[in-house]
Amino acid sequence: MNLKEQIRFASLALGCKTNQYEMDALNDEAAAAGFQLVSADDPADVYVLNSCTVTAEAGRKCRQMLRRFRKQNPEALIVCCGCHSELYDLGPLSDLSIGTVGRSKLLAAIMSKLVEAEDPDAVSLRQERFAADNGDYLWKQYEELPGTAYAEETRAYLKIQDGCDNRCSYCATTLARGPARSRQPEAILREAEQLIEAKYGELVLTGTNLNSYACEWQRNDPEAPGLIDLLEELNRIPGLIRLRLSSLDAAGIITDEFMERYAKIERACPHFHLSLQSGSDRILRAMRRRDTRESFRRAVQTVRKYLPAAAISTDIIVGFPGETEEDFRDTLDLCEEMDFMRIHVFRFSRREHTAAYDLPDQLPGDVKRERAERMHELAEKLGRRAIDRSLGEIREVLAERNDELDRWHGYTEDYLPAVVLPDADRPVSRGDLLKVRLCERCDSFVIARVCD
């Protein structure tokens, strides 16, 4: 590798939108430093993997990707960061491995490693892993990243907080990300303005636990601005088309006051992703969730009180230790009652160091697979129902990409996947907001036509 030549730089984020945000910001920093950004599928001189540890399968995929990078270019610098490398030693598969903190200095560390590889006599960079047992000092405040998270899509992720103070019994992400800490509103608004100026029409607020935004400030000052105040401030930025929340826990945030103010935010999307995880009160207690069936039901009713047409999606874990057929049926029944437009289904995965790892009555894989299949069947039925219910109505679709038939793909404001048929009288460009009529369902998406 010759440092006098442009260095090919590839990154890949596994897992959540927060991970993707962090790689988008790193890519911006790398491009500004003169690196050539390439796809992670192509030969590169530097590969960076932002790892995920939410399931055992996610961890396996992290290791698989690191090995694939090495195969693609045996001489490349392989770098790993993120949740899985926070909890597990991925040093044998990478040349530089950190965890969930220290990313603000990651590019500098990469450049030092490259210099070291070019000049064997150079002072060696000490490889550090910021693990949970020695990284607490870096978990006391939000870590700003040097780059702006310019995404490849028309929507951009905007990270507003990190970490989580909840201790759900199944969750390894909390262990990897540390305690909740919030980003200063000034920094959020500044990056939002940069993204909008760069023609990103939709901003998706993301973080480990959006419910926790500003909570550490409000403990000392109950009047400190919170999440709804931030949304109102973002809504005032000229040029913003849409504002969307990535995920919320219903407990503690979906109140009449929150929804009354949210419904008045012009650019806020009528879509909420509320994580349920189980419809059984017994399992929810074992998961250490703060919701109950009834509190979640009330939250959904509150959303629809102020936004009757709001779409609601959720996460469900099947096969949690001790889950009986009756518990699972409770979950199926509640999901159908809530009429979710989308359900993300996960099979319970034992994660080391979590409370659920050692729980009795661990379910066999075939039971978890069978329940996941039944939950997927329900999810597909509810998804079709959501589309069928919307047919004939007017929506707006943000044009994201076009296909070989010159149809534009995107999402409606309530997050229905749509394909817009070409219109010779109306040329469309990426990023346009199209007023459309929803015409027919095709599998899991809706066919739409541009209308006046």
Of the given ranges (133-147, 176-190, 302-316, 437-451), which has the lowest mean pLDDT? Answer: 133-147
Q: What is the pLDDT of residue 41?
A: 94
Which pLDDT band holds residue 252 (cuts at 50, 70, 90)? confident
- Let me know if the fold of 8-136 is the same as that of 147-389: no
Number of residues assigned to the chain: 452
Whether 3 has a pLDDT exceeding 60, the answer reads no
Q: Is the pLDDT of residue 173 over 80?
A: yes
Q: What confidence score (pLDDT) does residue 96 get?
A: 94
CA distances from 409 to 18, 29, 201 (A): 23, 29, 15
Mean pLDDT score across all residues of the chain: 92
Sheet holding 311-318, edge to edge: 271-273, 311-318, 342-347
Residue 198 has pLDDT above 60, yes or no: yes
Spell out the domain ranges in the chain.
8-136, 147-389, 394-450
Please tell me the distance from the alpha carbon of residue 431 to that of residue 418, in angstroms, as a whole number.
Answer: 14
In which residue are the tokens 């040029």 written? 239
pLDDT at residue 2 greater than cutoff 70: no
Instruction: Domain 8-136: give its CATH code.
Output: 3.40.50.12160
The pLDDT assigned to 335 comes to 98
Please give the Cα distance from 430 to 437 (Å, whole number): 19
Model confidence at 140, pLDDT cuts 50, 70, 90, reads confident
Q: Find the mean pLDDT for residues 290-306.
A: 97
User: What pLDDT was estimated at residue 334?
Assistant: 98
Does domain 147-389 fall under CATH 3.80.30.20? My reply is yes
Which residue type occupies 210? L
Question: Which CATH number is 394-450's, of 3.90.550, 3.10.450, 2.40.50, 3.40.50?
Answer: 2.40.50
Q: Taking CA 51 as the corner, what is the angle to CA 64 and CA 150, rounded to the nearest 5 degrees?
A: 120
Mean pLDDT of 430-446: 94
Q: What confidence score (pLDDT) does residue 134 get?
A: 42
Phi, psi angle pair for 344, to nearest 5°: -90, 120
Q: Residue 91: its pLDDT value, please?
A: 86
| Tens-digit pLDDT profile for residues 375-385 | 999 999 999 99
pLDDT at 359: 96
Distance of CA 314 to CAs 76, 126, 258, Å?
Answer: 40, 43, 19
With beta carbons less than 8 A apart as the criterion, state whether 237 and 193 touch. Answer: yes
pLDDT at position 42 is: 93
Residue 210 half-sphere exposure, CB side, CA atoms within 13 Å? 24
Question: What is the percent of the chain where pLDDT is above 90?
Answer: 86
Average pLDDT over residues 198-222: 93
Q: Is residue 273 over pLDDT 90?
A: yes
Which residues are CB-contacts of 260 (< 8 A; sequence separation ≥ 6)?
A: 306
Mean pLDDT in residue range 397-416: 94
Q: How confident is the model at residue 130 (pLDDT cuts 50, 70, 90)?
A: very low
Token pair listed for 11:
């990154």
